[in-house]
Structure formats: C-alpha cells, structure tokens
Amino acid sequence: MAAQMRDLFPICRSISGDGVRETLRDIGSRIPLEIQEVASGTQVLDRTVPDEWNIRDAYISAPDGERIVDFQSSNLHVMSYSEPVRAHMTLSELRPHLFTHPERADWIPYRTSYYERAWGFCLAEEVLDTLEHVEYEVVIDSTLEPGSLTYGECFIPGDDDDVVLLTTHVCHPSLANDNLSGIALLTELAAQLVHTRHRLSYRLLFIPGTIGSLAWLAANRERLASVVAGIVVACVGDPAPLTYKRTRRGTALVDRAAAHVLESGYRDARVVDFVPWGWDERQFNSPGFDLPVGSLSRSREGEYAEYHSSADDLDLVQPEQLEETLLALGAILDVVERNRTFTNRIPHGEPQLGKRGLYPSTGGGLPDVERLAMLWLLNQSDGSKSVLDIALRAGISFDVLAGCAERLLEAELLAVSEESRL
Amino acid sequence: MAAQMRDLFPICRSISGDGVRETLRDIGSRIPLEIQEVASGTQVLDRTVPDEWNIRDAYISAPDGERIVDFQSSNLHVMSYSEPVRAHMTLSELRPHLFTHPERADWIPYRTSYYERAWGFCLAEEVLDTLEHVEYEVVIDSTLEPGSLTYGECFIPGDDDDVVLLTTHVCHPSLANDNLSGIALLTELAAQLVHTRHRLSYRLLFIPGTIGSLAWLAANRERLASVVAGIVVACVGDPAPLTYKRTRRGTALVDRAAAHVLESGYRDARVVDFVPWGWDERQFNSPGFDLPVGSLSRSREGEYAEYHSSADDLDLVQPEQLEETLLALGAILDVVERNRTFTNRIPHGEPQLGKRGLYPSTGGGLPDVERLAMLWLLNQSDGSKSVLDIALRAGISFDVLAGCAERLLEAELLAVSEESRL
Amino acid sequence: MAAQMRDLFPICRSISGDGVRETLRDIGSRIPLEIQEVASGTQVLDRTVPDEWNIRDAYISAPDGERIVDFQSSNLHVMSYSEPVRAHMTLSELRPHLFTHPERADWIPYRTSYYERAWGFCLAEEVLDTLEHVEYEVVIDSTLEPGSLTYGECFIPGDDDDVVLLTTHVCHPSLANDNLSGIALLTELAAQLVHTRHRLSYRLLFIPGTIGSLAWLAANRERLASVVAGIVVACVGDPAPLTYKRTRRGTALVDRAAAHVLESGYRDARVVDFVPWGWDERQFNSPGFDLPVGSLSRSREGEYAEYHSSADDLDLVQPEQLEETLLALGAILDVVERNRTFTNRIPHGEPQLGKRGLYPSTGGGLPDVERLAMLWLLNQSDGSKSVLDIALRAGISFDVLAGCAERLLEAELLAVSEESRL
C-alpha cells in the first residue's frame, strides 16, 4: 500500500481529467478494473457532469522571471478547476485570487471551484507576505472543455448475488491521507478478495467525490436493491483511532457488524451517528436511496490539523495505521459475510452437549468461552436473532460464536433459518 | 408586569368572591377578557361549585382592645374560606384554630378549608408565643353564601382553529410568586399576542385552582379536541432556574418543543417528568382528558422556602426572572407555532445547492451552521420527521432550521407534508 | 433453617441415590412432599436418566494402611458418580484420578462425572504434595446400577389455578451455601405458605440439578401453561448482597416484581440479565419452554471463593443472611400475588377525595405518601398499567400503592380491569 501511495502522490487529480485516468490505470494494473467515462453535459440526478479539466502548468512570476508560486513544485498551488489565465497584473488585482491556510503560515491550503468558473492560487501565508506591489506574470495553462468524467469499478463476484459496496474518492491531488490512503486500502483489499472464496459479491468504486457517486447511482438504479451493505472508505492512514460512522438507518447489519468489531477489538475506536456531511455516504444515504452504507476512517473530514493542506503528505500515513484499518475492515466484512440466523432443533431443555463431544465430561468447574458460546447460541437461536445479535448481547466475539455455530450445525443441534442473513 | 403585580398584591383572593372579580377586572383592563360566572351548587365533573366566600374584616383582639392578629395588615391571617365567627374565647378554646409556619417563627403560613366548613387564623409563631391565657375577642366578618365562581377567558384567534391553552391560577391572596407572577406573565403575553399575527389560536384562562379548571373543562368538553398544546403557568418569578414539567403523555409536541428550547438556551433549566400533583395540569392530564398540557415554572410548588407563606412577597419576584420566563415561554410557543414536516422533493442524492445560490461556490472548507441545517433538512425530510425532530437530532436550534426550511421551500427543494404539524 | 442445614450437611448427595432420598425424607417430615422416582434409562427430553449411584466407602491408603484420603471424613473426597474401584497402583497410575483446588492448597474441590464412566478423588493440594512414589491401595466402594432418579414435589393450592414454580437443587454433597441454604429456605417458605391463605398455587420442586428439572419438565408439559411466575433458589445464605437474575424474556411480572422489591428495600442488591448458564433456570428458560422463571441468590455460581469446595461449610451461611433472603423472596411473591390492573371510574378530572374521607380537609400543605399514591393510582389507572407498573414509575412502594388501591376500590373510584394480572 505504501508503494502505491508513493507512485500516485505526484499526480494532479481533480473530479475529471487525465490525473484521474492515470490514477485508475495504476489501480487497474493491480486489480481487475472497468473504466467508465461519463460525457460532460450528462445529467446525473440533480447535477450535470461538468466540462473536463486538465492542466499542464501554472505559475506567478516576478518581474525578474522568478516563479514565486509554481504548479510544478506542488499541484496544490492551483485551485482545482481553475480556468485558463495568461495576464500581467498588479498585486491588488491578483490578491482576490490568492488563498492561504487560515491557521498555518507555512502550509499551502487546498481549494476547488468545480461549479463556478473561477481561477486561483493557493500558497503559504509566509510566501504571500513577501509579495510586493509590482506587476506579476500570472499563468494558468489549463483547459476546461467538454470531455468526460472518469471512474473505475472493480466487481468481484461471490457465491451470492448480494453485493457489498465499497467506495473511495479519487479526486484529490497530492494529499496522502485524503485520499491516497483510501485508494491504496481498497486496492489491497480487492487484490485479496480476488484470491479468496466468499459468499458475497463485492463492488468497489474508485470515484470522484459527490459527482462520481451520483453518476454511478444514476447509472445503476436497478442494481441498488442487491446492495446488502456498504462502506465508504477515506482518511484511513492517519494516527487517529478508527472511526465508524453509522448509516442513516443506524441499525443496519453493517452498523452492528462494525460496532461489534470495533468494540471488541479496538479499544479507542469510535462509532458515531450518521450526519449528512462527510464523503460519498451523503449520496448513498440520501432519503430517496437510503442505502445501508456506512463509512470507515481514522480521522473524519476536518478532524486533523493537516486536513486539506500540503501537510497531508506521505509522512502522515504510517503503514501500521493503514494495516490496522485494513484488518478492521476485513473483520467487519467477515461478520457481514458470515452472519446467519439459526433455530435450535432441540429447544426444550438444554441438549446434552457431552454425549456429542461438545462438553467436557468432568463437571464442577466453570465453562470456558466456547461452552458459553454454545449455550448462548442454543438459548437465543429461536429464528429471531442472528449470530451477530447474539455476539452483541453476550459480549462474546462473533468469530468464536460463528465457529461454535458451525459445530452445533454439524451436530444437528442448530438449523439455518429461512431468512437467515439480516 | 411588576406594576400589575404591585396593583394586585393587596387584594384578598380565594377560589371565589370579589377579590377574584377585582383581579379579573384589572386583567380585563389590559387585555380582552370574558368573565364567566358559575353558580354555587353547579355540578362540575365530580365536584360541586361551593358557596361564594367574601370577607370584610377579621381579627383577634386582646382584652385591652389591641388587635393582635389583624386581617387588615395581611389577608394571609385568615384561613381562606373561614366561616363567620364573632365570639369571646380563652386561648385554649382558640388554640385549635391557630396555624403557624412549621419552620420559620416570623412567617405567616397560608391555609385553606374550601370543602369543609371551618375557620382559622394564621400567624407567626413568635406572635403565638406572646399570647396569654386571657379571653380574646375573635371576629371573622365573612360571608359564605350561594353566589358564584368567577374566572376569566381571553381568546385570541389565529389563522387556524388549532388552540394553544395557557392557564394560570388566580385564587391565592397576597402571595407574589404564587401566583401574581403567573397572572402578570400571561397578561403580558396576551397583550403581545393581540398585536401579532399567528397561525394558532390562543385561549388563556385566569382561573381559581382545581375547581376553576374543572369548571372550564366541564363547560368546554366539545372544544378539547382542538387543543394541540397547553402550558399551565405558575411561580414564574422566583430566582430558581426554569422548570418544564412534561405532559402525562411525555412526548407531546409541547414537551419536545420545551425540551429543545430549554436545553439549547437555558443552561440550568430542568425538564421533569409528569407527576399527578402540582397545579391545574393535574386536571388537564387526568386519564379521561389526557390533554397535551405541560407546565412551566421556575420553582415547582413547595420547592422554595417562602412557598405558601408571607415571605412570598414582591421582593421575591425580580423583573429579570419574570422576563426570562416570558422569553422562554415565547420561544416554546414559537416552536409549536412554526413546527412543520417536509418532504425532500429531490430525494435521490443531494440536490446541488450551489446552483440555487444556497451554497458557496469555493469548496474545500467546512460548511457553516446554515449549510449543515440545510443538509439535515434535506436528509431527514422524508415526511416522518418534523423540523423540531430534526432540531433535537441535529443539535441545531429550531430557529436556524426553520429559517433554512423556508429557503429550501422557496427553492422548491422541500414540500410541506400533508400531516405537517406533529 | 439453620437446624435443618446441620441435619442435612453430613449426607452424601448426588443426582441420584439414597443421599437424595434421605434428604427428601427430612424435607417431607417438615412439609407435605410427594416423592417421584424416575427409572434409570427413562428418556427425558434430550437426555437419559443415568444409572443410580450409591457409595458406602472410599479411600486411598498408604502401604502402612493409613487412609490418606478418606470418604468417611468428607464426602467431597470422591468424585461424584465414581465407578467402583478396588486396586493397588503407583502414584503415577493414580495421579490422573486426583483433583485439587486450583487456588487454595488447603481446600478439597468438588468434582462430578455423571455422564461418562470415570472415577476420581478430590483432595487438598497440600495433601497431594505429601504423596510419595509408593504403591497405594485405592478403593471406591460404590455401585452404579439401574435404579432411579428421585425428586420431591410440594404442591400448596391457592384460590386460583395460576401456579408459582419455586425450585432448588438437592444434588450437592456436603456444601452448605450450595445448596443446603436453598433447601432450607424453600422448606421454611413452604411451611409458612401451608398456613396462610393465598390467591396463587405454589409448586415447590426439590430436584437434582439439570436432569431433575428436565425430568419434571418432561413429565409436566401440559401443566406449564399455568406457570405465571417462577424462581430458582440457590446459594441464598452467603454474605454477598442479594442477586436477582432475570428471565430470558427480561420483563416478566416476576422480573418487575423482583426489581421493585430489591431496588426499594435492599440497597446493595443486584438485578442482572439472563445468561444461559447457572442453575435450573437454564432449562426453564430454554427457547422451547421460555417460562417466566428467574433466579434468586446471594452470590451467583462461582462468584464466591469457597464455591464448590470444602470451605463452603456451615460457617459460611449466617442465619441473618438466610433470613434476609427469605424476607425478600416473600416480598417478591407478595407483589406477584397482589398485583392487579385497575381503571379509574371517574377519569375526567381528579375525583374529590376529601368528600370521600380520603384527603385532609385543611389545604395548603404538601400531600403525604398515601395521598401521592392515590393520585398516582387515579392518574395512571387507564387499564394499561398495573399497580406494579405504577410503583416502578412513581418510586412508591408496592405495599403502599396496593393498600391505597384497596381504599380507592372500596370508594368506587377504581374498578378491577378484565385482564388484571400481568
């Protein structure tokens, strides 16, 4: 994951353009990826796909020709979707187009203007302070023309038609945690899923934020009924503890699975309620779709000082943080994969576990966790409670319970319920 | 409000009689007020309107003619509804008719005997201690004869037939917080409502406690279905923090409105569950009526040391406390007035606020409270949640949300739901 | 209770055999008791009644003939259900059959092997440490042969057919708290119930753990519908605070009754959720039966250091602890006996209590607890809430409320609801 992030870091991405295409090519070299192009002007729900933006160069240079602000040194220097400019102007004329970081004089902020034609430069406050009242040459060598919006889809079929939707945004330029971390995490997860057998099908979307998820939703409305769970992944590599943000429904399978995994295995992790801002979960959880899509991150948007600035660089994302997030995501998906509801086939009194080799023959001591797990499963499995429900009630890990459920199923003490996966 | 309280303080009120009439005349000089007279002997629900009580004078005088206890110096000295007495008696004979404050030797307590014929004097313990075993002249120059019960009704029509019921008791003699404060507050509120346009109709009752609300309920049973919210107001001027007492139902609109207003604006305020004692909310919340009527006060009955004693005087009620209660009551009624339920007209994905002038065009920063309010309204408005529900969920003030809802309504992003006001 | 415990302490009980019969004979000398014998080999639900076990003697003796471990000094020395042994063996051969306490070197542990043929000795670790590598004589003079399982039933009829089920286990040897305390408590309770009139019928079971309750359930399936409440009683004499364990349903009448009694009268008492281990409540709460049977104890199984060891002796059980548990159990049953649901016959406004002699005629003070209880009963009695529900809501003791309900019933202010007992 660290290597892929290093490869992708220099690329200037936005919500459209060749930077996204180059990024998707890199992802496509690692996992099966279908590239979708949606033409500028296409109506997607309440929005229209904008013109495509590309940029070759941009700078502000002093009368002596020195580039004071230079796109070549950092693509954050140009406000994303800046229209082309080629002019000489005084500092007073230039000033309204300059943006600095509100708190740190040495950081370059990240700004965008997707839906209103404008142009701007982002620079460190301490550089702005050196500008003098002379005439500057101002160049943004960009194009903003009909083209298309690009996103990538990786579909990994499972035994069932039920789909888990995993998405991450690919529209940010040289920002590491937001969101090369999410791109690297889903790429790695997909690479693993390709080589394992699983019940559920997985659809991973590498999409420009907002307009990308809207475009996918608009094009896939008939597919949404098969989405049984989803997670929007972003900012998964910074040092903050893991954060799971619930779906709008609040009690979907993915919400309970994430709550169980984080509570039982990640001491500092947070589970927070849905709020209608953040990343693409906003779109999936709009009231018309109301999909069971939560979000997994470390920091949430805006919660870390380096957010949307040049300080969100590769140093911020440590491999062990990415790795921990990947493990947690895998554990949550494992619960979603394996959760089932059973009915006890011998519900009158406790069945005799000892004669089936499921209980130690010498009595008098206290039962161990596997024995407790079996007793919980037998007692609660009346068709109304899933293994996950029992895990949350009993405070026993889903893993242990699911393993014991398999043994009780083999011993013909449990049967799978009709409506098994909730 | 302070001026009206000073005017009304000296009057000897009880549950019937000329003191109530004089009080209602004062109120009627300030706001439109219809006076109702209910004849003694009228059956009102489980009770009978008692004979009317009036009093001209009362005293206990020593053999030297000095008035030791004198109604002219404080109308608290006579137990309310005392039957007429004119006798000479020894201290031993008199003693069973004398009441003192259980905790403060210098305060005169307040006592009543509405439904059993009796007579008595209330006096300071330190005065009682000076009485000697001599013969006293005891005079209560009262009448207790068929007459009527009097209450006042102020109806202020609104655009709708839905009614907000506001009541306060007018039966206490010279006690300032309990309840000249409630009388002054509702008089002032009515004076304001008369001059403003409002959706709801308001019915304000200035009634003798218990028997007055029973008489009104008995006479207005066919009107009760239009009562959408109500608040019993009393003890609204003492220094204690604001207290809202929930309706019997516990989750009525007025309960949620009061909880939101007090939680978001009044740090020390309390919201307490319904209990079947207190003021007239007891009658409105009896199981046969079960009206959505809560109660707003500062102290609740019995919670302040001066309660039902001569220390509950004008000094206890400070104008800024009355004013704060009036503002809070207004804010609660404002929520009840303005609460509506909407549906998002573009529920699939987030509508593009920017192109409608509702969102700043430069991206990258975090949204302000108005933007958050709009996102909450759009996300939650599926016809099942009112603006107040969203305020309680989002922790954003109703005011901000209601204002943003208007803008979204104008932008045709929201529509008013059929069953809009809950 | 203490005397009965002393009488029963020396007897070697197990899940079958003459020790149980002798114990039941003692109980039967104090209360009416019907003895049931269930033949070995009988199928009871998922289990089979095992052969009957009896033991006369057992020891390990050294080459010099000294009994190093001797059943005559403590019946805990032999693993319960040990098959007969008569052999000479080395310490290495003997060692796998020796069990010590995991934490205390001076205590003899308690072990069983009911369903797998085995034999063993339990001894103090400090005795085990003295054994040398010599040849020992090992004798267990037991029989394990077809016979029967024995349990006792005490039925005390009430006015109704509704049954309260009270059970305690009789299968443990010389262990005082677990469970001579339970045996003595239920014997004493039955002796009291025989002499009092009560609405409910009581069925008390003195049963071997697990197999005993399964045998009773198998033989009485058509009777289970009449069980309106039940409590499994065990470990009721140790110094720990009272503990009530809820039924699987969690909100049964007995659960709410126990919560109210313990919360209002026993400061340190605990009410804990159902878990599928413990005593015979496991069987009654299996999903096929799902009976409203909770459990009352002081410590729960395994919670006290002396649990299942020779230190669980008569010194651990103090009379005042037993007595307190008996009082609490009586109070819980009293709530179950007396709980009813009423409807207010004068639900519109408060009925006038004063004219019915239920309220003091002099007003102005605050009401006492009986007056509050009446107001709560009148306000809440709409047919949906029982006296117990009102007790839990109002924080007033069931006793006071039930007494006041009687007075309101006599005054024709309340009527008994159809479905009165919940």
Q: Provide, as residue numbers in chain C, all residues whose Cβ is less than 8 Å from the Cβ of B286.
A: 344, 347-350, 378-379
What does residue A302 show for φ and ψ, rounded to 5 degrees? 80, -5
* Axis-axis angle for helices C253-265, C387-394 (nearest 10): 40
pLDDT at A258: 98
Find the CB nearest C113 among A347, A348, A361: A361
The per-residue pLDDT for range B167-213, each reduced to its tens digit, is 999 999 999 999 999 999 999 999 999 999 999 999 999 999 999 99
Contacts of A196 (CB under 8 A, 6+ apart): none
C245 vs A: CB within 8 A: no
Contacts of B144 (CB under 8 A, 6+ apart): B51, B52, B53, B81, B83, B84, B117
B2 vs A: CB within 8 A: no
B47 vs C: CB within 8 A: yes
Q: What is the C-alpha separation between A221 and C141, in angstroms, rounded?
A: 78
B376 vs A: CB within 8 A: yes
Q: Are the C-beta atoms of residues C136 and C62 closer than 8 Å to each other?
A: yes
pLDDT at A382: 94
CB atoms within 10 A of CB B298: 26
Distances (CA, A) of B19 to B16, B151, B215, B362: 8, 11, 19, 68
The reply to whether residue A376 touches residue C308, judged by beta carbons under 8 angstroms, is: no
The CATH code for residues C53-144 is: 3.50.30.90
CA neighbor of C167 nearest in space, from C220, C213, C236, C211: C213
Q: How confident is the model at residue B116 (pLDDT cuts 50, 70, 90)?
A: confident
Distances (CA, A) of C375 to B214, B236, B287, C367: 16, 25, 11, 10
Q: What is the C-alpha separation between A356 and A99, in angstroms, rounded?
A: 72
Q: What is the C-alpha separation between A409 and A414, in angstroms, rounded?
A: 5
Distances (CA, A) of B236 to B211, B296, B316, C53, C162: 22, 7, 11, 78, 53
A260 vs B: CB within 8 A: no
pLDDT at B419: 62
The reply to whether residue B45 touches residue C349, judged by beta carbons under 8 angstroms, is: yes
Q: Provide, as residue numbers in chain C, all residues whose Cβ is less than 8 Å from the Cβ of A365.
A: 111, 308
Write out the residue limits of the CATH 3.50.30.90 domain(s) in chain C: 53-144
Q: How confident is the model at residue B354 (pLDDT cuts 50, 70, 90)?
A: confident
Mutate to test the interface with C, among A355, A379, A412 (most CBs of C within 10 A): A379
The answer on pLDDT for B361 being more than 80 is: no
The reply to whether residue A349 touches residue C286, judged by beta carbons under 8 angstroms, is: yes
How many residue pairs from chains B and C have C-beta atoms closer than 8 A? 85
CATH fold for domain B341-416: Arc Repressor Mutant, subunit A (1.10.10)
Terminal-residue alpha carbon distance, chain A: 33
**Mean per-residue pLDDT, B232-240:** 98
pLDDT by residue for chain A (422 residues), tens only, comes to: 999 999 999 999 999 999 999 999 999 999 999 999 999 999 999 999 999 999 999 999 999 999 999 999 999 999 999 999 999 999 999 999 999 999 999 999 999 999 889 999 999 999 999 999 999 999 999 999 999 999 999 999 999 999 999 999 999 999 999 999 999 999 999 999 999 999 999 999 999 999 999 999 999 999 999 999 999 999 999 999 999 999 999 999 999 999 999 999 999 999 999 999 999 999 999 999 999 999 999 999 999 999 999 999 999 999 999 999 999 999 999 999 999 999 999 999 999 998 898 887 555 556 789 999 999 999 999 999 999 999 999 999 999 999 999 999 999 999 999 765 55
Write out the residue limits of the CATH 3.40.630.10 domain(s) in chain A: 2-50+148-338
Q: Which residues of chain C have pLDDT under 50?
A: none
What's the gap in Å between the CA of C377 and the closest CA on chain B? 9
pLDDT at C14: 97
C376 vs B: CB within 8 A: yes
Q: What is the C-alpha separation between A293 and A275, in angstroms, rounded?
A: 13
The per-residue pLDDT for range B161-179, each reduced to its tens digit, is 999 999 999 999 999 999 9
- Going A345 to A349 to A353 to A356, the CA torsion angle's sign is negative
CATH fold for domain C2-50+148-338: Aminopeptidase (3.40.630)
Interface pTM, i.e. ipTM: 0.91
CA neighbor of B155 nearest in space, from B164, B146, B147: B164
The per-residue pLDDT for range B285-297, each reduced to its tens digit, is 999 999 999 999 9
B368 vs A: CB within 8 A: no
Q: What is the C-alpha separation between B314 and C357, in angstroms, rounded?
A: 37
Strand locations in A226-321 (E): 227-233, 243-245, 270-272, 293-297
Write out the residue limits of the CATH 1.10.10.10 domain(s) in chain B: 341-416
